[in-house]
Structure 1
Amino acid sequence: MSDKKDEILEEQAQATETVEDILEQDFAEIEALRAERDELKDRFMRALADAENSRKRADRERREAEQYGGSKLARDMLPVFDALHRALEVATDELRAQAGPMIEGVELTQRELLNVFSRHGITAVMPKVGDKFDPQIHEAMFEAPVPNTVAGDIIQVMEQGFLLHDRLLRPAKVGVSSMPKG
């Protein structure tokens, strides 16, 4: 009976080892699956973040294209405005008396051009003599010592500047005082 008992104990020991081996394999498989799950979850979260960033970037680029896409055309239209402005500056009272309807037509054309600019977010930068020079929106064409002015004061405006929404389309061209007051 002792042999039978030893045989049963041996079979139980082998069965226990087999169960332990199976459990070890199962635990190893579970750990491998957990690691794979965690890696896939991480990759999924990264892909989701990339997709969201791409969407935001596309939205931002679309908005910028809507706002600033016409900047080249707008910049090309500024000389037309300048020509109309110069034409009106040289119109004397005598010339207005002789060619009033033509001058009025030029004024209406300039006004309509400004209305079109306004509809598309283009605004004029119109400094005045005595304003402070701002390099963000002005371009200094020359400096000159002018009595009773402070260095950095605008002493002459040669050309208006323009903004397209919040971006500078063209700086206002100005002359700047180089003389300290005193």
Structure 2
Amino acid sequence: MNDTPETRDANELDADIGESEAEANAEAGLDSTPGDDLGPIDALIAERDQWKDRALRAVAEAENTKRRAEQQNNDARAYAIQKFARDLLGVADTLERALAVDLGGSEDPAVANLVKGLELTHKSLLQAFESNNLQRVAPEPGEAFDPHLHQAMMEQPSDTVEGGKVIQTLQPGYALFGRTVRAAMVVVAAKGSGGKPNAADQAAGAAAYAAAADKG
């Protein structure tokens, strides 16, 4: 059976439409090959997920960079003022020694004014230290010995302080941003000291003191 002119025209029209659709799909970057798992919507979703992952990674990296910068700034600040702070500790020590001098209850107005001036100067200096994160370390009698903050100068028996704990602070120490600038010089109670020592506290204090002594 021969095709009529009308049939040939319809077939040619269908072929032209098919070619036009194929060219349009090719220009849009879409593969219309049968069996392809990713359609247009799936491809867009995959691309969106990729950009989302990149954005999350960029945010995380920015946060890490910010934290590193803050830590570096703190370290730089601490290093910059550490030497200056250590030099000022001598001034604080001198003021404390002057205030510890027994003036015999002198009623001389000049002496009283001098003592008051020393006290105010010492207080102002400690406030300046604290405002710059330079913390004074002066353990009270009975406090546990801390090898990170304290330096044991001697060990002696005590009737009131348990073994391994501080009896007396000979010289205060200082810490800057949590780092020891100068350890506090202390006297530590010998093992077996105290009326009724707490075994756990005594063992911990004695161990800390022994570790510090070994390092020394």
Same fold (TM over 0.5): yes
Q: Which aligned pairs between 1:77-92 and structure 2 lie closer than 5 A? A: 77-89=88-100, 91-92=101-102
Report the TM-score when normalising by structure 2: 0.58
Q: Secondary structure at the match of 1:131?
A: coil
User: How far 1:45 sits from its partner (Å)?
Assistant: 4.1
Which runs of 5 or more residues in structure 2 are unaligned? 32-39, 196-216
Instruction: Report if the CA contact (8 A) 2:163-2:192 is conserved.
Output: yes
CA–CA distance in 2 between the matches of 1:129 and 1:49?
A: 48
Cross-structure match for 2:213: none
Q: CA 1:147 to 1:106, structure 2 compared with 1: closer, same or farther past 3 Å?
A: closer
CA–CA distance in 2 between the matches of 1:44 and 1:112?
A: 51
Report the TM-score when normalising by structure 1: 0.66
CA–CA distance in 2 between the matches of 1:178 and 1:101?
A: 40
Q: Secondary structure at the match of 2:30?
A: helix
User: How far 1:157 sits from its partner (Å)?
Assistant: 1.6
Cross-structure match for 1:161: 173
Q: CA 1:52 to 1:131, structure 2 compared with 1: closer, same or farther past 3 Å?
A: closer
CA RMSD of aligned residues (A): 4.1
Deviations along 1:117-168, one digit per CA (max 9) or x if unpaired, are 24434442222233322334323233x2414342212123221123446554
Q: Which aligned pairs between 1:11-160 and structure 2 lie closer than 5 A? A: 11-22=12-23, 24-25=25-26, 26=28, 28=30, 34=44, 38-55=49-66, 58=69, 60-61=70-71, 64=74, 68=78, 70-89=81-100, 91-93=101-103, 100=111, 104=115, 105-142=117-154, 144-148=155-159, 149-160=161-172
Please state which structure has a larger fraction of its residues in helix: 1
Q: Secondary structure at the match of 1:11?
A: helix
Which runs of 5 or more residues in structure 1 are unaligned? none
Across the two proteins, how many residue pairs are aligned to each other? 179
CA–CA distance in 1 between the matches of 2:49 and 2:66?
A: 26
Q: CA 1:56 to 1:145, structure 2 compared with 1: closer, same or farther past 3 Å?
A: closer
Instruction: Report if the CA contact (8 A) 1:147-1:179 is conserved.
Output: no
